[in-house]
Amino acid sequence: MLDRPEGRLAYDVEGTGPLVVCLPAMGELRSSYRHLTPLLVAAGYRVATLDLRGHGDSEATFTAYDDVALASDALALVDELGGPAYLVGNSMGAGAGVIAAADRPDAVLGLVLVGPFVRNPPGGALATLMFRLALVKPWGPSAYLSYYPKWTPGLKPAGYDEHTAAVAANVRRNWKAFVQTTRTSHAPAEARLDDVRCPTVVVMGTEDVDWKDPSVEATWIGKRLDAEVVMAPGVGHYPQAQAPELVADALLRLAASPRA
């Protein structure tokens, strides 16, 4: 457990070598990296996977559940484990990674942004409002869980049913914290994009339903961060689960780049 000012956060660490810290998406668990972790460990990395505030085995005792808070948690874990580290961030975890890299360039060797939210969706105010209304109890958990499969289209990764059951149990158990997490804005991440100096790679699924055109969003992020862009064919919002080899290869290329 990682002690933070308002509570404790759960994490796992495997392997030896350069440190990689993996940050999940909103509503997800550290086990979303279950397929990526062994690939990175086999490649000679020490991999830490973190449960977000109010998710999984982490406590739901916090006042903030946004990208900025997650960035501070990521940096605290890097310091706890003896960084610097590469950060792998999925969805809101990518926004947190951007903020962390901008705040502490000494602590972040590089970023792998997976299905990234580093800004609020353009023209997405109405969709955001409707999403929040759908999460009002008593139907909120069921509404969210009915949408959850859309983030993993096509072929499901091994252990999908068990993982989905764990996600469902977590959402129902920590519903108040989850709803607070959904109210985050990614504007703080967008405001820090120009402050990121470390090498970065963007991995986006071609079937990510969170974007009208995932390739357009990935290209926009790539230009802002001077990053490599990798599109994962047939993959949704969780490339680390559906295409872990592609994500692992992206991190290995990043680590070998002259800027690393």
Domains of the chain: 2-256 (3.40.50.1820)
**Residue 66 vs residues 9, 10, 26, 118, 234: alpha-carbon distances, Å:** 15, 17, 10, 12, 29
Any bridge partners for residue 45, and if so which? none
- Residue 128 pLDDT: 55
Contact status, residue 156 vs residue 135, Cβ threshold 8 Å? no
The β-bridge relationship of strands 19-23 and 108-114 is unpaired
Q: What is the pLDDT of residue 235?
A: 97
pLDDT for position 107: 98
Amino acid 183: pLDDT? 83
What is the pLDDT at residue 228?
A: 97
pLDDT of 145: 85
* pLDDT of res. 126: 42
Contact 242/232 with Cβ under 8 angstroms?
yes
The C-alpha atoms of residue 186 and residue 93 are separated, in whole angstroms, by 10
Distance CA 17, CA 171 (A): 34
The 8-class DSSP code of residue 3 comes to E
The residue type of 123 is: G
pLDDT tens, N- to C-terminus, the chain (260 residues): 999 999 999 999 999 999 999 999 999 999 999 999 999 999 999 999 999 999 999 999 999 999 999 999 999 999 999 989 999 999 999 999 999 999 999 999 999 999 999 999 875 444 554 555 455 666 677 878 888 999 999 999 999 999 999 999 999 999 889 888 988 899 999 999 999 999 999 999 999 998 989 999 999 999 999 999 999 999 999 999 999 999 999 999 999 987 66
